[in-house]
Structure formats: C-alpha cells, structure tokens
Amino acid sequence: MTTVSAPADIAVVGLAIDDDSGLIATGHASPRLSWKLQSQAADVVQLAYEIEVAATRAFDGAVSRSDVVKEARPYLAPWPASPLESREVRWWRVRAHTNLGLTAWSEPSRVEASLLSQSDWSARPVSPISNVGRETAGPVPLLRRAFEVGAPVVSARLYVTSLGVHEVHINGRPVSGDLLEPGWTVYPKRLLFAAYDVTALLAEGPNAISAAVGDGWYRGDLTWELTRNVYGATTALLAQLEVTLATGETVVVVTDANWRGGYGAVRSADLYQGTETDYGAEPAGWRAAGFDDGGWEAVRVLDLPASLEMRAMPAVRIVERRKIELAAQTPPGVPIGLDAGQNLTGYLRIAARGPAGARVKVRHAEVLDTDGSLFTEALREARATDSYVLDGRPVSELAPAFTFHGFRYAEIEATAGVTIDAVTAEVMSSDLRQIGRFACSDPAVNQLAENIRWSQRGNFLAVPTDCPQRDERLGWTGDIQVFAPTACLNADCRSFLGGWLRDLALEQDRGRVPHVIPDVLAQLGSKQGCAAWGDAATVVPWSLYRTYGDLEVLRAQFDSMKAWVDWCATRTEPDGLWTRDFQFGDWLDPDAPPEKPAAAKTSAGFVASAYLAHSAGLVADAAGLIGQAHLAAHYRDLHARTALAAWTRWSEEAVRSPTGCALAIEFAIAPESEHAEIGARLAELVAAAGYRIGTGFVGTPLVLPALTRTGHLDVAYRLLLNRDCPGWLYQVDRGATTMWERWDGIGADGSPNRASMVSFNHYAYGAVGAWLYQTVAGLNVDLSQPPDAQIVLAPQPGGGLTWAEAELETPYGRLAITWRLEDGTMTIEAVVPPGAVAQLTIPAGFQPPAGEPSIRLGAGEYSFRLSSSTTVPAHTDRATS
Ligand code: BGC
C-alpha cells in the first residue's frame, strides 16, 4: 500500500457513527464508522483505510489501530477496537490511502456509550398512584423530585423513557426539544430510551427534575374503533440522572418511591382527539426546586421493562414554524378561519389575551367544504380539537401537549373578551436528514415533488404512517412498501425504517406480517397477512441496502424476509399460486367503486402471486450477499416457479390492465422475450385511457418504470404530465400541497370526496418520486453494486421539459446532475463526490463524445455539451479547469 503523502487538499472529514439519534450517547457497543473524503483533486478514490481508537482526544494513551483495510467504501466500517462499555467515552480517527497518496489523520471524533445493559438501571418506572390502572381518558399525570447537589457539576446525563409519551424539565428548563418520546415501537419487546447531556441545566444547591407523561400510543385511542389501553392502563416515567461532581463523586437521582405525583393544566391529551388545557389548574412553580409538593400523592414503583433499547433514530421534533396571517378583523363571536398555506402535521401555537376563565377552541381540517367550512368528515372519529381555558395572565401562549393534527385549515372559536394576537403552525416530524432534491422546468412537477416531500414529512412521525389526520395514523405496511424507494432518496431513512423493520420482525407471527406495524389491529382480531402489504418485509430492507449500502440491514432482517416468503408459500394452492385469502390487491384502483377499494381491474391472485415471486427473488439475492448462498437456489427456484405459474394462468388477463402489464415487466413475471410486446400493450392501454392513470397502490410505482424500460418514454411522460383526473398533476391543479389517498379526493367542481376513506396526506401515490430522480434527472444510486457500478447518471429528457436537476447526499458525499436543452443542444453537468465513480449514459438521440455511449466519471465536476449531430466535449473537472 502506498505511503506517499497525499496532496494537502485531500482530507478525511465528516466522521460519523451509525447512530442518527443526535443524542449524546449511543447504544452501539461497537458502532460502525463512516467518513468522507474531501478533495478538489480529480478522480480521487480510497484504496484502503486505517482507524485508530483511543481513550483520550490527544491519542496519548493506549491506542487500538486497525489493519490497513483494503476498502474503497468510506462508510459503515466495522469498529476496530474492544467494544465500548456503558458510559465509556472514546475517540476515533481515520486516515485514507488514496490513489493520490496517504491522507493525514482526520480530526478525532468522540463517541460515548449509553447504558448498555439492563443492570445499569437502578431507576424503576413510577406513576402517581391515582394514575395506576386508569382506563379512561383523564388529566396528564405530573411527576417531580427535588434533590441537592453538594458541589459544582462537571457533567450530567439523563437516561429516560416512559410507558406513554413524556417531556422532562430540569429546574424548569426542558431537557430537549424531542416530542412524543419515546415514539412508538412494539413496547413490550422494544422500548426505546434516550440519553441527554443535561450538564448545563443543573447547579450546585437545590435542583428539581419534573416530567409530564401523556397517554400517546401506549394508552390513548388507536384505530377507528378508538381502542384504548392497547399496551396497558398505567402510564409511567423511567428516568436515571447521573451527575458527576467536581469532587469526583457521582450523584444519581432515579425514579423511585421518593418521587411525588400530581396533576396540572392538561386535563386530557390524545393523539386523535387533541387536548383540553386549563391553565388555571397548573400548580404555580411545580417544576422548581422550592415547590412544596407535600400535598402531592405518592407514586407506585413498577418493574423495570425488560425491553429497553437505546434510540438510534432521530426523535420527533418541530421541523418548521410557519407564521399564519390573521384576517384583519373578525367580528366578535365569529370563528377565525386560518389557512396555513400548506397541509401539514403538527399543531397551532396561539398568542392570546383574555380574562381568566375565557375559552378558546381550535378545530382542524385538511380541506374546506364547498361552503367554506372545515371539512372534518374525513377525520372520522378523530376529534382533532384543542381547547383551552385562560388563566387571566396578560398574554397566554396556547399550545397542545402530546398530540398532533394533520391539517391545513383551522378555526379558532373564542369566548367574549379574547383577542388572538398571533398564530404559528408548528410542523412536527421525525427529524430525518433531508438528503435529496429534484427540480425541473415544469412548476407543476416541482409542486408534485414538494407534495411528496411534505407527505413524507407528515407521515414519518415515529413510525411510517398511512396518514396523519383521521382515526388511523398507523404503520400500514403496504403504503411504505410502495413508497420506500422514493422515501430513501428524499431523506436519510436508514435508522428510521431500519428500526421499524425490527418491529416488523418482532410482530411477525410464524412469518405472517400483520397489516400494520406496530400491530394494533391484532386487538381487533385481525390475523390476516396479504401481498404487497406484508412484502414490506422484503422490499423495505432491500431499498435501504441499495440506497445506503448497509449490508447489516439485510443481515438483521434476513430471517424476517425469509419467514415472510415461507409463510406466503404456505398460502399457495398446489399450482403454486396464492389465490385464497383476503387481498387488498391493487388497492384504490381508480376504476374500483368508491366503497370497494379492493375491487381492482387486476385480479388479486395475480398481484399476490407476482409479489410472492418478486419477494422470493429478493430473498435469493439477499441470501447470496450475506453468505447464505446455499439458500439462494431454493428462493431463486421459488421465484421462477411462481412467475411461470402466474404467467401461465393470468397472462391473457394481465395484459388487459396497466397494473397487470407493469407487474409482468417490472417483477419479471413474464419471460423477458415478451416484455417488448407487453410494454407496447401497456402503452396502448395508457393512450386509450387518455393518458389518465389507471393504477392503484400496487401498479402506480411500477407503471412509469415499465413504460421506460420497454421503450415508451414518451408515453411515460404523457402519463406523468396528464392534468385530468386521475393523474398526479390533477391533484396539483386542484391546489394539493400533499399527496392524496384517492386520485379523486376533490372533484372537478371543487367538492371533497365523501367516501369513508379520504385523506389528503397519504404518500403511497408519491411513489412516482423515484422515477423523477432516476429517469427525469437521471440520478441512480445502487450501493449493492461494486464501487465502479454504484452510480449511474442517465438522464432521459422528454415531455417538453427543458431542464431537470437532482442531487443526493450519498455516503460518499454530494452527487448532483443537471441537464438543460437549448437549441437542439443538451448540456449535462455532474458532480461526483470524492471516492466515488459514476457512469454517465448519454441520452438517446445525442451524439456521445468519442463515440462511447457510457462515460466513466471519477470524482470531480463535469460539463458536457452534446448535440444531436455533433458533440462538443467540454470536460472540465476541477483539477483542469
Ligand atoms: C389506509 C391505507 C392502507 C389501507 C389498507 C387504509 O385505511 O389508510 O393506506 O394501506 O387501509 O388497504
């Protein structure tokens, strides 16, 4: 390996461990390590790396050093030292052997371990006695504990979770902006906790830690049956505060029998129903050390949950604040109508003035009815209402606790004497890093891309949900199954979906995947599993692997993937086809009767069997990759047998519907020799429908790729750009700011659809987003491939677009492409991050430079001018320009 020093401008930067929580400590004892090369040099690649791990930042004590590991990928390298112990801090740094020489050691990066074992916990969950076993909705319990700190504080950590949803303060200041913690997981098997650095909140002398614990998913209403107490009837807080003093001593304050319980302003709080807050009922100063809690009640101490796991994904937070304009004057007694200008998930924060006892009520809706009133019918049993009683202070900041609403519009009703000074919409989401962006010359397509992004934001809230507004908000598997490839490009979903997949595996019942994860439908007696929904078990891990290159995801999920496919195989008939059992099928096919969303044009048996074949193929691929090659043959064979049987039975029928054709092509159900003919048939069907969409949840993600693959790019563009109903841009023209559940959510006359399922924030049809990145802009990343084949830039202009661009923060760094058409010339600009290699495919109809239709692009910036007849190469990487 070379030891020549690299030019000074090549550096190793951006060190990160595989933990996206943003918390002070990690639950990984052997975290995997990633970094980036930073360089202005052309064509730089990593050939090998070395990592050092030490106990100090100066690396002056014992240092563990890895071998020189021959590896081109600067991401997810194994931890090269002994595992971390609970609370241990270590430092690590990297240097890279590149084709241009050896870099200097990177700046060191700190890693701290959280509590890694159950035995680290001396805290036990506590609940005010009167909150134990409370089955009906009621006030949110408060908990507090005062304590002394006898010397200056050097550092302090709070490890915390709850049965319920909690927020914690120390000396009256919040420990974080994290909301609805600890999120929603299969609590009995996996209860996440967090670790916060709270050093700055403590002081020598008297201190107090305080918390409120809402019902959340643990005890609040869930599903359209408004089932309560799904996980238990007692909410409780588990907290362990460890304070290191200047004297070297440690003070540990844990939830135990010394805590006191009470109640305050929040009289009820529910995710679906909203909150009732009476500010006059708040005990003054209860979060402060000096508060007299003698009148408060004792707490019940519960057993330590067996399922504690440190959170590795981002929490739910306020990700944006949008000030809402208030109409100049609303006559007294008339509700104030508000428009946030964007359908979103979150709540309103209201600055209000009024006498003690005055009331304010806020209702929410996604759309307005034709008469201008809030269209709340679509919320079904979710009241989505926040109400407040003022306490007479000069200005009150009204905001609900422990809830969220899906809304664009709202109405504020207030009793006499109340003035509303200001309103802000606070947007809630799991705070995922946004890594991708797409734009093009058509503003309507850009609005579509924005709508997709907003639906992802609004539905990535602790779990990937179907919708954020009505009495569901559940982790519907089918929705994320179709949306995952798009989701993974918009935001870094690795830890968010990776965690959810672990819950999926935990909820599997002999391989069967329930319809929603966490499985709260089991409470309603559902024991079903069905195709395209349960296939989240295979498709989602595969998407994560392709986009983020994390083989561990496949390794961790492999048993789950395999078990799902094995279970599906037990549901087949002797002919190998899955024709029994209820199927959602091509759900919400636009031609299905409004109240029969499963009655699609494509038969459910074909959809189910095609998915079985597809997932069997994914299991075979995964088996090969994780060293289980002996299993691959079986699943490869299952794929082939199922595909053959399905095609033998349904080929005639399948080519009569766009979803049937798209499945046949994209899942390779039909033999490859027939794809061209089926593609032509698909193009005819789309044209015959006037380029209006004819697919439901299953067909929609596949129809544009199938047309593109079989040479009907023009038809694909016409389908994308169609403005009639059903169609993506029909929604945009109707003013949509998020993706709708139904193609006809709002009719041509502007009236909302009154079917029983009408959400205006459902990401499933946003699955088209991947095609915008991959085909329109031409940005393709597949990290399952060897380094030279991982990135393909292959723009396919069409539809009259004059330019498009996309960028993606890949594990190597920022990858970007822009193309522009002008006077018959096409300009392509590309940025390939250091360490990566891309292949540029010259679009059909343009003359490739040097006659090669595919050009290798090493790290650097590029610009090509192509004409349909002659090519003017203008290759200018940074090193030469
Ligand atoms: C949800 C979906 C889900 C479906 C099951 C609906 O109520 O909102 O998006 O996938 O049920 O088919």
Cβ of 183 less than 6 Å from ligand 1: no
- Assess contact for 825 and 850: CB atoms under 8 A: no
Rounded-to-5 percentages of helix, strand, coil across the chain: 25, 30, 45
Amino acid at 499: G
Which residues have CB under 8 Å from 95's CB, separation 6+? 12, 49, 50, 102, 103, 104, 105, 106
C-alpha closest to that of 734 among 367, 239, 250: 367
Say yes or no to pLDDT of 872 above 50. no
Angle (CA) 794-798-804 rounded to 5° is 60
Res 6 pLDDT > 90: no
b/e for 460-493, b at 16 or more Cβ within 10 A?
Answer: bbbbbbbbbbbbbbbbbbbbbbbbbbbbbbbbbb
Which pLDDT value is given to residue 850?
A: 79
Rounded to the nearest angstrom, the distance between the alpha carbon of 466 and the centre of ligand 1 is 7
CA-nearest of 365, 348, 434, 358 to 393 is: 358
Q: What is the pLDDT of residue 334?
A: 87
**3-class secondary structure, 736:** coil
pLDDT in tens, 279-298: 999 999 999 999 999 999 99
Q: For residue 741, report the distance from its CA to the centre of ligand 1, in Å.
A: 9
- Rounded Cα distance between 33 and 93, Å, is 10
Q: What is the pLDDT of residues 457-475, one digit of tens each?
A: 999 999 999 999 999 999 9
Mean pLDDT for the chain overall: 95
Tokens coding 686? 């789309």
**Unique residue bearing structure tokens 């460890």:** 242
pLDDT of residue 852: 85
Q: DSSP letters along 486-553, please? A: HHHHHB--HHHHHHHHHHHHHH-BTTBPPSBSS--SGGGT-----TTTTTHHHHHHHHHHHHH--HHH
What tens digit of pLDDT does each residue of 671-684 get? 999 999 999 999 99
CA dihedral 867, 868, 871, 877 (to 10 degrees): 60
- Closest residue by Cα to residue 423 from 433, 434, 409: 409
Q: What pLDDT does residue 2 have?
A: 45
Check: CB of residue 845 under 8 Å from CB of residue 711. no
For atom 7 of ligand 1, the residue with the nearest CA is: 757
Residue 559 has φ and ψ, to the nearest 5°, of -60, -40
- The model's pLDDT over 156-192, given as tens digits with 9 standing for 90+, comes to 999 999 999 999 999 999 999 999 999 999 999 999 9
Nearest atom in ligand 1 to the alpha carbon of residue 764 is 9
State if residue 587 touches ligand 1 by the CB under 6 angstroms criterion. yes
More confident position, 840 or 526: 840
Residues with Cβ within 8 Å of residue 234, at least 6 apart in sequence: 127, 131, 132, 133, 134, 163, 219, 300, 302
Q: Which atom of ligand 1 is nearest to the CA of 476?
A: 10
Model confidence at 1, in pLDDT bands (50, 70, 90)? low
Pocket lining: 604 vs ligand 1, CB cutoff 6 Å: no
Query: Alpha-carbon distance 443 to 447, whole Å?
Result: 6
For ligand 1, atom 2: residue with the closest CA: 466
How far is the centre of ligand 1, averaged over its atoms, from the C-alpha of 304 (Å)?
Answer: 36
Q: Which of 411, 507, 741, 809 is catalytic?
A: 741
To which residue do tokens 């919409």 refer? 425
pLDDT digits (tens, 9 = 90+) for 204-244: 999 999 999 999 999 999 999 999 999 999 999 999 999 99
Is 472 one of the annotated active-site residues of the chain? yes
Per-residue pLDDT at 878: 42
Binding site membership of 589 for ligand 1 (Cβ less than 6 Å): no
* Catalytic residue check, 741: yes
What integer pLDDT is reported at residue 331 of this predicted model? 78
State which ligand 1 atom lies nearest to the alpha carbon of 467.
8
Tell whether the model's pLDDT for residue 774 goes beyond 90.
Answer: yes
Tell me the backbone φ, ψ of residue 131, rounded to 5 degrees: -95, -10
* Model confidence at 722: pLDDT above 60: yes
Atom of ligand 1 at shortest distance to CA of 515?
5
Instruction: Convert the pLDDT of each residue in 810-869 to its tens digit.
Output: 999 999 999 999 998 999 999 999 999 999 999 999 998 878 889 999 999 999 999 885
C-alpha–C-alpha distance, residues 480 and 176, integer Å: 29
Both tokens of 149, joined, read: 């700190």
Say how far apart CA 197 and CA 167 lie, in whole Å.
Answer: 15
For the chain, helix (H) and strand (E) counts, in that order, are: 14, 41
- Give the list of residues 6+ apart from residue 158 with CB closer than 8 angstroms, or none: 168, 170, 175, 195, 196, 198, 209, 239, 240, 241, 242
Q: What is the rounded distance in angstroms from the CA atom of residue 676 to the CA atom of residue 249?
A: 75
Q: How confident is the model at residue 84 (pLDDT cuts 50, 70, 90)?
A: very high
The string of pLDDT tens digits covering residues 617-626 is 999 999 999 9
Q: Residue 427 in contact with residue 354, Cβ under 8 Å?
A: no
Task: Tell me if 757 CB under 6 Å of ligand 1.
Answer: yes
Q: Dihedral sign for Cα 224, 225, 229, 235, please.
A: positive
Output the CA angle 441-447-452, nearest 5 degrees. 125
Output the residue whose Cα is nearest ligand 1's atom 12: 584
Element (H, E) at 389: strand 385-389
Q: Could you give the CA distance from residue 103 to residue 80 in angstroms, rounded to a whole number?
A: 19
The answer to whether the CB of 719 is under 6 A from ligand 1 is no
Half-sphere exposure of 531 (CA within 13 A, CB side): 29
Strand order in the sheet with 871-873: 436-440, 803-810, 813-822, 825-832, 860-867, 871-873
Percent of the chain with pLDDT over 90: 92
How does residue 879 score in pLDDT terms, banded at 50, 70 and 90? very low
CB 167 within 8 A of CB 209: no
305: CA distance to ligand 1 center in Å?
A: 32
- Residue 499 alpha carbon to ligand 1 centre in Å: 21
Give 755 Cα–ligand 1 centroid separation in angstroms: 13
- Ligand 1 pocket mutation pick from 472, 481, 528, 741 by most atoms within 8 angstroms of CB: 472
The residue to mutate among 587, 596, 739, having the most atoms of ligand 1 within 8 angstroms of its beta carbon, is 587
Rounded distance from Cα 443 to ligand 1 centre (Å)? 30
Say if residue 649's pLDDT is above 70. Answer: yes
Q: Is the CB of 42 under 6 A from ligand 1?
A: no
Q: Cα of 598 to ligand 1 centre, how many Å?
A: 10
For ligand 1, is residue 406 a contact (CB within 6 Å)? no
pLDDT in tens, 320-332: 999 999 977 777 7
Give the tens place of pLDDT for each residue, 405-442.
999 999 999 999 999 999 999 999 999 999 999 999 99
Tell me which residue has its CA closest to atom 5 in ligand 1. 584
pLDDT of residue 7: 72
Please compute, for residue 231, the number of CA atoms within 13 A of its CA located in the half-sphere on the CB side: 24
Quote the pLDDT of residue 594: 84
pLDDT at 880 over 50: no
**pLDDT confidence bin for 3, thresholds 50/70/90:** low
pLDDT at 870: 46
Contacts of 423 (CB under 8 A, 6+ apart): 323, 324, 326, 338, 348, 349, 350, 351, 412
